Structure 1
């Protein structure tokens, strides 16, 4: 590359919905990256607070796109449509990037062009100081790979969504090939997208923590959605792609059945303690079929079968 040739542009897509209290920190963590060619696109997803006022203060440093409230998948898709970069990265408006993130990832992708994307390690953050996450003596970029979470990731992704949205940088040509996030998925649209990426090429994970996920300390219980989206994403991927990775490695049918049972059990457990007895009962009926979850599922199923017993258990929990 000639000295006067600018480095590849990275388009950073940031959905924002009612995050006026946090979006400034998120935006600053992008603008303060030492990578020299960044385009930040903030998609306001119909915020009802003063998020737009906060964003207006940045002037031409960022590009702000407004849309009616449609959810994070639609917001990310809108940001992708406006992106003009050679790479796409994502950051949510209440999370944070640490110094050196983009430089390290772009350096890796330049050095190893056979990878289509690069993600990094992340940590859960309480919103206080970030000093604990930054090494006292950080000498240069850390490009060390986490080998067990790098390469052809289709099989690891069938087990779990090992990639965090805020950690990933993807080649734009690959995004064009993979298409947009599935807006019909209320949750799990990111997992669905990573599974699609994993069919296209190899993905690398840097060991270094470069991203912080803000913990929602106000949430006492996890919200139970209308459908078991985690299961839907898994079954949809296997129906479309099967149990074998593009590199030739395959997942045994018995392990796949275990993954299915685990998703039934987790959804049943969440539904049980959130007061959705019917959802819980149906999920435990499915998870009880697998030996790994048989005993636990039977116990929860017995409690959820009888209203008086279920209410008694819930009362003791409270």
Structure 2
């Protein structure tokens, strides 16, 4: 499949061996405990052509004071509290890089990460993605690196996954570096909270997505960023569906505008992810899903998945139908926030050890 927007500048860069300018944008809101470590992890990188932009989103703790300690080593800006998307766009407007990396203030860039990534910063590459190690608030590892990426620079399978499932496996924000133009000209994103929701979907259509099967960063899990999963409601489920569908409709517009040689994206209403959320929404409201609802969910799973994942999701669908509502709710909570399964295993271990 031909990809659009592959720049001729790539040949020039190869001849001149120019090190691309990389903009690292750190957005912060009330992360005084972590912002210093985050910035230091960038300053310690072995990469010369680098700019570091830190935007404080009106923090009410000591985050801004911590940021100012780095002086002219970084570009630091403070705004009123406006949310992650607008804060990220402010950082983008201040940047000049050929490539842009949004690093969450509570995450950490791994030692030597940019030296490993540098060979892939080429104009024909629209995105570099790498694995992240989950850590707790103290920096201790609490799980295996994710997602399980296979080395690749082929966007074809990712495009096919988007057409079939509406997404492809990708790390959180701090595991992705984008060519600048992927973020430009996106237009209104009223459905969105973060900057990379539609960008990760667009990247395979406008260049090569490089997947690196190495852990090059750390993703911190703590009480503050788990709070979004703390209360499971049908309203929250609807919000997830609206963002998922909003991204796909937006993607369809962007692909048509930028990629004349690529077939139109057909956006459906029966993706397995959507059917799953709608089913869980009923469970959260204390209702038992109908046989028709469960059947539609299972059909979507069988259409989009194979092997162990297909079996696991089909069993999950059946469990939501047959189990008492209280248990079904717990399963839905674990599905939304997998860290809950660790808590449940811990409680069971304690119970059986008495």
TM-score normalised by L of structure 1: 0.72
1:206 maps onto 2:209 in alignment:
no
Mean Cα deviation higher: 124-133 or 13-22: 124-133
Mean Cα deviation higher: 224-233 or 42-51: 224-233
Q: CA deviation at 1:224?
A: 4.1
Cα separation, 1, equivalents of 2:116 and 2:192: 32
1:290 maps onto 2:296 in alignment:
yes
C-alpha change, 1:7 and 1:189, in structure 2 (3 Å) is closer
- Which of 209, 217, 221 in structure 2 is aligned with 1:215? 221
Contact 1:9-1:86 at 8 Å conserved across structures = yes
Q: CA deviation at 1:282?
A: 9.8
Cα separation, 2, equivalents of 1:235 and 1:2: 39
Per-residue Cα deviation, 1:42-64 (whole angstroms, up to 9, x for no partner): 11111000111111111001111
Contact 1:13-1:76 at 8 Å conserved across structures = yes
1:45 maps onto 2:68 in alignment:
no
- Report the counterpart of residue 141 of structure 1 in structure 2: none
Unaligned runs of at least 5 residues, structure 1: 134-144, 305-316
C-alpha change, 1:287 and 1:109, in structure 2 (3 Å) is farther
Partner-residue secondary structure (3-state), 1:262: helix
Per-residue Cα deviation, 1:111-130 (whole angstroms, up to 9, x for no partner): xx432111111121124457
Mean Cα deviation higher: 281-290 or 77-86: 281-290
- Report the counterpart of residue 352 of structure 2 in structure 1: none
Cα separation, 1, equivalents of 2:265 and 2:78: 43
Contact 1:14-1:41 at 8 Å conserved across structures = yes
1:76 maps onto 2:88 in alignment:
yes
Contact 1:74-1:181 at 8 Å conserved across structures = no
Q: CA deviation at 1:170?
A: 1.4
In the alignment of these two chains, the number of paired residues is: 281
Greater share of helix residues, 1 or 2?
2
| Aligned Cα root-mean-square deviation (Å) | 4.1
Alignment of 1:103-252 (within 5 A): 103-110=115-122, 113-128=123-138, 146-147=150-151, 151-152=155-156, 153-157=158-162, 158-160=166-168, 162-177=170-185, 179=186, 182=189, 184-186=191-193, 190-217=196-223, 219=226, 222-224=230-232, 226-227=235-236, 228-239=238-249, 241=252
Cα separation, 2, equivalents of 1:41 and 1:183: 24
Unaligned runs of at least 5 residues, structure 2: 1-12, 144-148, 254-258, 299-313, 327-343, 348-354
Cα separation, 1, equivalents of 2:81 and 2:289: 31
Q: CA deviation at 1:207?
A: 0.6
TM-score normalised by L of structure 2: 0.65
Cα separation, 2, equivalents of 1:183 and 1:250: 21
Q: CA deviation at 1:205?
A: 1.1
